[in-house]
Amino acid sequence: MTNQTQKNIAILRSKLVELFQGEKTGHSIDHLERVLAYALKICEREGGNEKVIAVASYAHDVHRIIGSNLGRFCTPVESLPMVKELIEPLNLTTEEKEHVLYAIEHHEEYAFGKEKISITDIESKIVQDADNLDAIGAIAIVRAFRYGSSNNMPDYDPAIEFYQNEYSESVNDKSTLHHLYNKSLRLGEYLHTQTAKQIAKPKTQLIKDFIDVYLKEFNCDF
């Protein structure tokens, strides 16, 4: 990170650590730190405005906290007024702040079963790729079961066949294993950048292997 990006993140971190304290759905401050790290790695290789990418990737999940407080799903767009306040003291131009808000607003648009999503700027693509990379792999499995538990989802329901439907964050899958099958296994196909696609390959294979082993053990196929 450049010195200015480091300063912006330090200011933002002091606010987000307190805001995300006690978060238990898999969208904790640790998740934000990993998404930031993924985003910076992709930015280094693919380009883009580092300040916008860093701030947007670090503040992308404020809507999760709002939703927890309200007791309902909250969309990213609903979080923009709070995000705007959080980023106000940062060293960003007015245009950069608007760019941050745009990237956050659109980071949960998925293309499963549809045409490609509308975002075209490299910054928004990198933020979305970074967030999606943390939904694939070993930690993603832990996060998925944590989210499922917090939302009263069963670990697995053998009565329901696996499916790959259009995906929406506002609608929970039938079980955590169905969520891994319906979302995590597919994310690698819809990443924008070559860097993210390369990182996703072994992480996607790990998800596939986990599902296979889980089903064997569940069915006592030892």
For the stretch 95-115, pLDDT in tens is: 999 999 999 999 988 766 555
- Tell me which long-range contacts 186-191 makes (C-beta under 8 A, separation of at least 24): 186/112, 187/132, 187/133, 187/135, 187/136, 188/136, 190/110, 190/111, 190/112, 190/132, 191/129, 191/132, 191/133
* Whole-angstrom distance, CA of residue 152 vs CA of residue 218: 20
pLDDT confidence of residue 49: 98
User: What's the whole-number mean pLDDT along residues 174-193?
Assistant: 95
pLDDT confidence of residue 25: 75
Q: Which of 14-23, 134-143, 162-171, 203-212 has the lowest mean pLDDT?
A: 162-171
Amino acid at 11: I
Does position 56 have pLDDT exceeding 90, yes or no?
yes
**Domains in the chain: boundaries:** 3-218
Residues in the chain: 222
Does position 138 have pLDDT exceeding 70, yes or no?
yes
Does position 208 have pLDDT exceeding 90, yes or no?
yes
**Contacts of residue 30, Cβ cutoff 8 Å, sequence gap at least 6:** none
Give the count of beta carbons closer than 10 Å to the beta carbon of residue 151.
Answer: 11
Q: What is the pTM of this model?
A: 0.92
Does position 148 have pLDDT exceeding 90, yes or no?
yes
Structural fold of domain 3-218: Hypothetical protein af1432 (1.10.3210)
* Whole-angstrom distance, CA of residue 99 vs CA of residue 122: 11
Does position 62 have pLDDT exceeding 80, yes or no?
yes
pLDDT confidence of residue 210: 98
Residue 119 pLDDT level (bands cut at 50, 70, 90): confident
Amino acid at 100: V
pLDDT confidence of residue 222: 85
pLDDT confidence of residue 121: 96
Does position 76 have pLDDT exceeding 80, yes or no?
yes
Give the count of beta carbons closer than 10 Å to the beta carbon of residue 18.
Answer: 9
pLDDT confidence of residue 137: 97
Give the count of beta carbons closer than 10 Å to the beta carbon of residue 73.
Answer: 16
pLDDT confidence of residue 91: 96
